[in-house]
Structure 1
């Protein structure tokens, strides 16, 4: 029997996540208390997105949702609070930002917030928020023609990983004399326990009491899993182990861990830790 064991929302792209007991499934990804996954993003002075790939310290920016603000903490910094209320689209400052090769309209957060991130990262940067006029759709080659919106994610609304897949990797790391890794190295939104190792690769649909997620693309991994999320520093790269058995020809030999999903049914339905998950195999 498969069980939903973990739910994580990442309000700011590449910053720490928030572990949740329950969340709302939407076509654009997870949402809780009106806050969406990857709703904010840090950009440089030219509007290019910043991630842990080049700036691992972003892992140490820890968000917490309060009544009316998103509170941010980071080592050596005073805490910062960002209003949760949406800006007025008619008057709020906006700018064009770049996410991979996609140009998107975004709200520009205030100068105090920009100064906070600039001080912490040591380079000029700003925090931006996804604009309602922006559109970022998952690649329809993989979604089967379904229009699946997302915000500032790298491409798909929901990342699902099976707990047994990490256990298998950690066994392999142990045999190689390496330390085990926590699941946060791979930054999934949902972790499903009770599947076989890497069985998520072969699931046609996940059913969360009527809300249906469909895995559409294996998740090729960049060097980010080598970033220790507790210290914000690079460590041994698990790709060295994964490359021996997790290269996927369907993504040009990319080393994959986890599956990108889109929502087919159940917009607005709540999911919670501990609930049973139906998992229909694709064969």
Structure 2
């Protein structure tokens, strides 16, 4: 038989736990509220770009979901298709600047890839995953996998690129993703476990301000565009160039939250002329970036733009306000 003292004791313990739990929740809510008060309006989204096929042309959109794996529009997520070489390593404009001539679009349940003198290559957005067609591949040192898109896609890419043994892979749902936190960087890796992407070089997002690009152009004897740097999110800040370097976290619109990871180190891809499909003869804008944006902490490569990871998914629109919590 349960005594009245036992009942009273249990009720006391339950009440104590409930009060402690409520206090913990209230403290957490208050802490989050305090943090939100420190966010300041720093600008507005001026452009959103999705690059479905790694190193091919991008698509400018007005609205997208900031999914944890990258910007997503109509079921198409950033850098979820990739061209690989015979050994499974990714192919990019670094080795094949001609890839910049490939234009990508989406229509219904297909992604279209168009190149000069070629018929349209049509890739299904949601292909059936056949285990025997899942291939191993590599992005830099990270070993991952992808669903082979078939011989027709492979032949198309080989014909356009003038190379043999190329394949087109798709990072289908359920296949292994790149874990950004496992990458080793000389300056340290700020990514957290669960910060993933499909075939991005590092983070699932890259952000750049218009002011930073304007500053670069003011130091060049020719004009370059965002196309040279391939940012997913472009922000107009009305502040000094490289203000984004000082942001720790950002909130876009009402719901989307992102962490800034580390500066994006730049390479010869910035020198590719997307209209000609070849690298610039003078090495610009990379040479100017090396003069202006090299810092000992990041080695010999200049930095331009910031890698980001999503903490809270949300829909982002061009024109949305951007709030930042500074470092």
- Corresponding residue for residue 215 of structure 1: 260
Q: Any residues of structure 2 matched to 1:114-153 within 5 Å, and which?
A: 114-124=154-164, 125-131=166-172, 132-139=174-181, 141-143=188-190, 145-153=192-200
Aligned partner of 1:35 in structure 2 is: 76
Paired with 1:108 and 1:239, the residues of 2 have a C-alpha distance of 34
SS at match of 1:142: coil
SS of alignment partner, residue 90 of structure 2: coil
**Structure 2 SS opposite 1:117:** helix
Q: Match of 1:249?
A: 296
* Aligned partner (choices 98, 105, 127) of residue 138 of structure 2: 98
Correspondence 1:228 to 2:273: yes
Structure 2: stretches of 5+ with no match in the other structure: 1-41, 183-187
Aligned residue for 2:53, secondary structure, equals coil
Is 1:111 matched with 2:155? no
Counterpart for residue 323 of structure 2? 278
Q: Which runs of 4+ in 1 moved over 4 A?
A: none
Moved more, 141-150 or 98-107: 141-150
Quick check: which has more Rg, 1 or 2?
A: 2
In structure 2, do the counterparts of structure 1 residues 260 and 43 end up closer, same or farther at CA, with 3 Å as the change threshold? same
Match of 1:203 among 247, 255, 277: 247
Q: Is the 8 A contact 2:134 2:145 kept in 1?
A: yes
C-alpha separation between the residues in 2 aligned to 1:84 and 1:64? 11
Give the CA deviation at 1:33.
1.1
Instruction: Give the RMSD, CA atoms, in angstroms.
Output: 1.5
**Kept in 2: contact 1:138–1:150 (CA 8 A):** yes
Contact 2:45 / 2:322 at 8 angstroms: preserved in 1? yes
Q: Secondary structure at the match of 2:291?
A: coil
If each structure's strand is expressed as a fraction of its own residues, which one has the higher value?
Answer: 1
Residue 137 of structure 1 and its aligned partner are, at CA, apart by: 1.0
CA contact (8 A) 1:159 1:190 kept: yes
* CA–CA distance in structure 2, aligned partners of residues 270 and 115 of structure 1: 37
Inter-partner Cα distance in structure 2 for 1:157 and 1:25: 10
Higher normalized helix content (fraction of residues): 2
* SS of alignment partner, residue 244 of structure 1: helix
Which structure 1 segments of 5+ residues have no match?
none
Kept in 1: contact 2:149–2:169 (CA 8 A): yes
Aligned partner of 2:65 in structure 1 is 24
- 1:53 equivalenced with 2:73 (yes/no): no
Aligned residues: 275
Q: 1:144: Cα distance to partner?
A: 5.2
TM-score by length of 2: 0.81
What SS does the corresponding residue of 2:93 show, helix, strand or coil?
A: coil
Give the Cα–Cα distance (whole angstroms) in 2 for the partners of residues 98 and 2 of structure 1: 37
Deviations 1:29-54 (A, max 9, x none): 11111111100000112211100001
Shift of 1:89: 4.3
